[in-house]
Structure 1
């Protein structure tokens, strides 16, 4: 990032990605302000005036707020998943419309799950097919709230693939399965696995901040998606055992009910292509899965890792 950034506001800074971004920006000497539900934040969603003051004068705002989707989609959890994304984005838009000096750009989390189950071709921002189902409806409402917000700030919806990195996030359950000897393919193993290293999430945001000509949805994923069988083989090689028992789809459905999560999180084929990033000459630090997992392995302890279950 070459343009001077003095202040960044991160909404949802307590999650894995939020914590990573906050540390990185503070290491650069940037003032990081946080917005969330607890008093530890600089502003809470319920304090309208304080939220406006925290946003005023910031260079950019990054909204990552939202309840984890690693849970069973009951009526109560589905309502929270939906409201924790849509209502916070709406509150942010209202607050940004009231500031005296608005941020240059508003990054709002979205998800690569907005696209259909894709096994025939990758989904780009330009020609990707939007899918159906609860997760897709959440994503569509989330982005609609962003782009309909009453502010002229440049807006970017970060359609993130599965984010990998040491110390948490989506990789820990995969590592635990491999270390338990259960790291074989899931289902038929042909479903595509689009991913991005957390370091490249940060670098993507830096890049997009500089590119004032880019707005709208942007896919955050490497150009090199792999299928599930290949992904689990790489995880076993770098972080687990040499062999792993495959998990058929019926067992995933049964197991998902036990650990209170949804089987679509591993069975849906997510094939996301970062066309906007590619065409704007963005360079990934970790474009390939193998080196990304090597880096994660160097910073990951032995034994089973903590996993938050829904």
Structure 2
């Protein structure tokens, strides 16, 4: 699929903005669904109208998980994913000419904390806890939706890119000298460059064999210890070779201060892109060093703006 019409829902965030730009650059017409009047449709409109005649649907809607999991924020995280996915499924069922493929955001956090072996789409073991419960409910809404279009759950790992996302807080810590291992430093960090997110989405859209869960992850994950050293090397200039480590207690305390959960750093996410590799996808940035070197070219000096929940 080299051009056509794509509908993007929840496209105002870090990933959504860059993917919109890339699709438009490549000649696609992009229709958006969201909360603001600038979108082609809002969530309380007739979504079937904006979906009719499109070639693909990409749903990225969901409240940021970079926050403390209070009752209020937990409810918002859950409902912002499940209710929007349910609405899209119902709209597709009413659509006279629905898109041929529906790609819906999910998360690599659905797998268990893994340090013994990678988790792929076939043999991966699902975990427990709040984040996993959200992910399972999210995917259930997708796969139970009353429409026969091809459905893909994008189990996305940590997305690395310039001007936002999970990398900016790590860069700030490195530039302040706190660039040592976080926790014990041995937890696995699965990641993917933002450009590979876009190219993988294009690959999935074009390959009609692909359906079900798809892990969006580089084939070369690293430990947290390796990650923090690489961030220090690419973004922290002439700081000492060894940054100050952040033990578990400091992350738990800091999480309360900046209103986020230490799980986002401490969980070992070892996610393998089995479907992508077996269907012939070639990563533009398979290794962390080359990914960070590319991102560094677009990253300004000094402390970066970080959106906290």
Does TM-score exceed 0.5, indicating one fold?
Answer: yes
In structure 1, the residue matched to 2:29 is 31
In structure 2, the residue matched to 1:291 is 290
Q: Classify the secondary structure of the residue corresponding to 2:58.
A: strand
Distance 2:205 2:122 in 1: 20
Distance 1:171 1:256 in 2: 16
1:71 aligns with 2:67: yes
Structure 1 gap segments, 5+ residues each = none
> Alpha-carbon deviation of 1:168?
1.0
CA deviations 1:91-129 (Å, max 9, x no partner) are 000001111111010000000000000000000000001
1:282 aligns with 2:281: yes
> Alpha-carbon deviation of 1:38?
1.4
1:254 aligns with 2:253: yes
Is 2:3–2:27's contact at 8 Å kept on the other side of the alignment? no
Distance 1:181 1:214 in 2: 44
Distance 1:9 1:210 in 2: 16
In structure 1, the residue matched to 2:81 is 85
Distance 1:55 1:15 in 2: 21
CA deviations 1:229-276 (Å, max 9, x no partner) are 000000000011343100000110011011100000000000000011
In structure 1, the residue matched to 2:123 is 127
> Alpha-carbon deviation of 1:29?
2.1
Distance 1:64 1:93 in 2: 14
In structure 1, the residue matched to 2:299 is 300
Is 1:172–1:307's contact at 8 Å kept on the other side of the alignment? yes
Q: Classify the secondary structure of the residue corresponding to 2:105.
A: strand
Q: Classify the secondary structure of the residue corresponding to 1:32.
A: strand
Match of 1:45 among 43, 46, 62: 43
1:206 aligns with 2:202: yes
CA deviations 1:207-239 (Å, max 9, x no partner) are 111110110000000110000000000000001
Is 1:184–1:246's contact at 8 Å kept on the other side of the alignment? yes
Distance 2:224 2:159 in 1: 15
CA deviations 1:23-49 (Å, max 9, x no partner) are 0111122111100111111111111x2
Q: Classify the secondary structure of the residue corresponding to 2:94.
A: coil
Distance 1:286 1:146 in 2: 29
- Larger CA deviation: 147-156 vs 165-174: 165-174
Q: Classify the secondary structure of the residue corresponding to 1:302.
A: coil
Is 2:33–2:43's contact at 8 Å kept on the other side of the alignment? yes
Distance 2:198 2:178 in 1: 32
Distance 2:25 2:197 in 1: 16
- Larger CA deviation: 120-129 vs 3-12: 3-12
Distance 2:242 2:37 in 1: 47
In structure 2, the residue matched to 1:182 is 178
In structure 2, the residue matched to 1:16 is 14
> Alpha-carbon deviation of 1:4?
4.0
Aligned length: 306
In structure 2, the residue matched to 1:230 is 226
1:154 aligns with 2:153: no
Is 2:196–2:285's contact at 8 Å kept on the other side of the alignment? yes
1:106-117 counterparts in 2 under 5 A?
106-117=102-113
Structure 2 gap segments, 5+ residues each = none
